[in-house]
């Protein structure tokens, strides 16, 4: 057990030392013209590169990500069927789908899925 603690502390000390040394020795520039330019291809922009984008699009993209992650959480339900009873498998799957549908109906009710006003 003492060997394990020694290995952990040695690894922690070496990684901390490397991180501190790299932070001290690295070249730090607060403002770099190339990093502050909107394009990295070498061309100067003809118009403003900071165009405002639709907040509605951002909201729909976030909702899509949330439901996409929840769909990936549904996939393992099919693989656990040999290890559980059909009743518990079905009830847990239906409960999860009911929560998803409740969230979808709530977003629909609030008008978050409407693209234009």
Tens digits of per-residue pLDDT, 78-99?
Answer: 888 888 888 988 898 899 889 9
Angle between helix 55-79 and helix 86-110 axes, rounded to 10 deg = 170
Structural domain count, the chain: 1
CA atoms of 7 and 64, how far apart (whole Å): 44
pLDDT at 90: 87
List alpha helices for 1-117, DSSP H: 2-25, 33-36, 55-79, 86-110
- Asked if residue 21 belongs to a domain, the reply is no
- Asked if residue 5 belongs to a domain, the reply is no
Domain carrying residue 98: 51-77+85-117
59, 112 Cβ separation under 8 angstroms:
yes
- Asked if residue 111 belongs to a domain, the reply is yes
CA atoms of 98 and 76, how far apart (whole Å): 17
Tokens 């559980």 belong to 84
- Asked if residue 110 belongs to a domain, the reply is yes
- Of 62 and 14, the structure prediction assigns the larger pLDDT to 14
Task: Identify which of 16-20, 24-28, 71-75, 78-82 has the greatest average pLDDT.
Answer: 16-20
Whether residue 33 is predicted with pLDDT greater than 90 in this model: the reply is no
Helix (H, G, I), strand (E, B) or coil at 116: coil
- Of 102 and 50, the structure prediction assigns the larger pLDDT to 102
- Asked if residue 109 belongs to a domain, the reply is yes
């Amino acid at each position: 057990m003492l060997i394990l603690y020694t290995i952990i502390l040695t690894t922690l000390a070496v990684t901390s030392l490397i991180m501190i040394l790299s932070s001290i020795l690295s070249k730090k520039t607060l403002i770099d013209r190339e990093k502050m330019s909107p394009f990295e291809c070498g061309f100067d922009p003809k118009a403003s590169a900071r165009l405002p984008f639709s907040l509605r699009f951002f909201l729909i993209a976030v909702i899509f990500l949330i439901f996409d992650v929840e769909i990936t959480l549904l996939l393992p339900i099919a693989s656990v069927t040999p290890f559980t009873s059909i009743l518990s498998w079905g009830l847990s799957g239906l409960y999860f789908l009911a929560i998803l549908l409740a969230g979808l109906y709530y977003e629909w009710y609030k008008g978050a899925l409407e693209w234009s006003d």
